[in-house]
Amino acid sequence: MTPRKIIIDTDPGQDDAVAILLALASPEDLDVLGITCVAGNVPLTLTARNARIICELADKPGVPVYAGCDRPLGRALVTAEHVHGKTGLDGPELPEPKMPLQDQHAVDFIVETLRREDAGTVTLCPLGPLTNIATAFQRAPDIVERVQEIVLMGGAYFEVGNITPAAEFNIYVDPEAADIVLKSGASIVVMPLDVTHKALVTAPRNAAFRALGTPVGIAVAQMTEFFERFDKEKYGSAGAPLHDPCVTAYLLAPELFSGRRVNVEVETHSELTMGMTVADWWGVTDRPANALFIGDLDADGFFALLTDRLGRL
Ligand code: RIB
Ligand code: CA
């Protein structure tokens, strides 16, 4: 079977890093056409640095990395150093990247790639704020129908917010961009906190990463040990939630996940609930279903897949 062509749009971020490593460890399944970086967890200069550090950690310096939008469409940038540390990739000591950043802007790369590749053959995998994706859709509306699928990490419903009482971080940072993407008409799978908070790196799971004994395994163990403290303090979680790797794992093994096709819309006016994703889970409106909203996963199966694949790098 030919590998699925994907573009990873990301704001690394330790969990983004694990998502990227899982993709790069699966070349028979996924053809990473490029990694596009966006401001989110940390400013763009750092997300573009971190993405290249991760590619080199995976010994894949040939993966093209692009810098994209350095701020949301219409709001000031909000970052998350309180979760990910000042570099965004705190935890392991990793060398500065040697591989270059591509000259082309990430948005231009997304537009050009979707126009070049056969329609319906490229999947977009946003792991951060949706600024790059929304900007591409605004600049080139013709590409929307050429997208095979958008599998994104963002939003929450039953789980409510992690950056405000109502909103999940990726959506909160750029709610206008999220609104554009959710209303675009593209085929969308949403990985909200409702499912990612069930993908927790417990101590035995972290030990399994470390037991790989490889630079990748040890670095992933160190990354998840670093960023678990936020969720442990806030939620009393048993470990770090692997938000973004749920996107990659869905592409590799969708049977690990379950959800419901529902209408999902985002608050873009009220400051009280700005960025809140409202999922009509119980079908109480006649608003059309626009996304597969994932609510559950086989966590043991997820970690078995992840650990096995990381062991290949
Ligand atoms: O709310 C979790 C999301 O925000 C993840 O993508 C994490 O990396 C941060 O970007
Ligand atoms: Ca992210």
**How much of the chain, in percent, has pLDDT values that exceed 70?**
100
Ligand 1 site-directed mutation target among 38, 127, 228, 237, most atoms within 8 Å of CB: 127
pLDDT digits (tens, 9 = 90+) for 157-182: 999 999 999 999 999 999 999 999 99
Decide: residue 43, CB within 10 A, 0-12 exposed, 13-18 middle, 19+ buried: middle
pLDDT digits (tens, 9 = 90+) for 259-281: 999 999 999 999 999 999 999 99
pLDDT of residue 83: 87
Between the CA of 154 and the centroid of ligand 1 the distance, in Å, is 7
Atom of ligand 1 nearest to the CA of 169: 1
Residue whose CA lies nearest to ligand 1 atom number 10: 128
Q: What is the mean pLDDT of residues 34-56?
A: 98
Range list of H helices, the chain: 14-24, 44-57, 81-84, 106-116, 131-139, 169-173, 175-182, 193-196, 203-211, 215-235, 245-252, 299-310
Average pLDDT of the chain is 97
259 or 84, which is more confident? 259
Q: Are strands 257-262 and 291-297 parallel, antiparallel or unpaired?
A: antiparallel
Write b or e for each residue in 144-154: b if 16 or more Cβ atoms lie within 10 A of its Cβ, otherwise e: bebbbbbbbbb
Between the CA of 90 and the centroid of ligand 2 the distance, in Å, is 14
**How much of the chain, in percent, has pLDDT values that exceed 90?**
95
C-beta contacts of 271-275 below 8 A and 24+ residues apart: 272/166, 273/166, 273/167, 274/164, 274/166, 274/167, 274/172, 274/175, 275/161, 275/163, 275/164, 275/166, 275/167, 275/168, 275/171, 275/172, 275/173, 275/175, 275/178
Residue 238 clears pLDDT 90, i.e. is over it: no
Atom of ligand 1 nearest to the CA of 11: 10
pLDDT digits (tens, 9 = 90+) for 243-256: 999 999 999 999 99
Residue 237 clears pLDDT 90, i.e. is over it: no
Please give the Cα distance from 205 to 300 (Å, whole number): 9
